Amino acid sequence: MKWKKSLNGLASYKPGKREEEVMMELGLESIVKLSSNENPLGASPQVKDVIAHSHLATEIYPDGWASELRKVVAAYHGVSEEELIFTAGVDELIALLTRGLLSEQTNTVMAVPTFVQYRQNALIEGAEVREIGLLEDGSHDLEKMLAAIDANTAIVWICNPNNPTGNYIDTTELEAFIAKVPADCLVVVDEAYIDYVLPVPERHEDWMRRYPNVIITRTFSKIYGLASSRVGYGIAQKEVIEKLNIIRPPFNTTTTGQQLAIEALNDQAFIEKCRTENAQGIKQYEAFASEYPEVKLYPSKSNFVLLDLDIPADEIFDYLEKNGYITRSGAALGFPTAIRITLGCREDNEAVITLLKELLANR
């Protein structure tokens, strides 16, 4: 078959093992998953109420325009309905962007390490990927990223907060960067984790008013607790959205996903609760790291922490896993002696910290 040559050498995404599988392998009675940056509090009670009382006509296609969700999200962000696109998670939106803008004649600029799907989708389209290493504290090196842009650069990616480090670029610094990017190069500002940032940052919707080459991406998978529903969206000028809608498949978000997203967005009191408890979790890990000079905690504004223990990452991962906690080995993220841990409830955070202390004591 005549597959794209760009697929040669690429691997498919490999999700982690299911909890049930790990429990059987290790003989555990229970396990806590802290590897995928999911919300330990789940979704809003309003979402759960909709699920319990939903009468879904499964034989009917969903609203391909996501009309009701579109109205709610437009009002929340203060944008027009034509300035929004809804997708099956941000993953699909990333694929649409690369399909529409990248080719063998273009290049794309991004940090490394950052969210892996930027690179994967760019390579599928045959584009040159220009990766700029993070600064020592795990933040984007914006100056070097600007220097890497040339006449053939079609997309620049900014993950803010960054995954896997959790670093956040403040509004003033990031807008100064955007202002210097050529007008014919799209800047993707991925705000999947923005709702965890404290103090709550000023809204960034005005960027796409001042800069037609900006798209902001958001998801309901993280703080809104709807990871299984696969609903993401982008905010950009109408002309950008129109191009993306040419590529977007019809009926790409489900009826249930649209309904649940509306309820989730409407319950901002629950979101504030999640944000507050998440901040307390970060403080737990900050206190732990302050006790150990050899431990480096990257400054996270997200719902996970990246800890460098100067121990092989897979060794840390294995020790936590056999004690009932699934995390993310830094070996797969570009940090060979670090571990990424989703913030859980207070008790789980303390349990993981206790295990890390045991591991350090036995070195």
Residue ranges and CATH numbers for the domains of the chain are 15-43+269-361 (3.90.1150.10), 55-266 (3.40.640.10)
Q: How confident is the model at residue 55 (pLDDT cuts 50, 70, 90)?
A: confident
pLDDT digits 0-9 by tens, 338-352: 999 999 999 999 999
Q: How confident is the model at residue 16 (pLDDT cuts 50, 70, 90)?
A: confident
Q: Is the pLDDT of residue 17 over 80?
A: no
Q: How confident is the model at residue 264 (pLDDT cuts 50, 70, 90)?
A: very high
Token pair, residue 194, equals: 């923005």
Residue 52 confidence (pLDDT)? 82
Residue 27 confidence (pLDDT)? 87
Return the number of other C-beta atoms located less than 10 Å from residue 132's C-beta: 20
pLDDT, mean over the chain: 96
Residue 19 confidence (pLDDT)? 86
167/159 Cα distance (integer angstroms): 9
Q: Is the pLDDT of residue 261 over 90?
A: yes
Q: What is the mean pLDDT of residues 325-343?
A: 97
pLDDT digits 0-9 by tens, 80-131: 999 999 999 999 999 999 999 999 999 999 999 999 999 999 999 999 999 9
* Count of residues making up the chain: 363
Q: How confident is the model at residue 210 (pLDDT cuts 50, 70, 90)?
A: very high
Q: Is the pLDDT of residue 14 over 90?
A: no
Q: How confident is the model at residue 21 (pLDDT cuts 50, 70, 90)?
A: confident
**Lowest-confidence segment of 26-30, 131-135, 257-261, 341-345 by average pLDDT:** 26-30
Q: How confident is the model at residue 195 (pLDDT cuts 50, 70, 90)?
A: very high
Q: Is the pLDDT of residue 208 over 90?
A: no
Residue 53 confidence (pLDDT)? 80
Residue 232 confidence (pLDDT)? 99
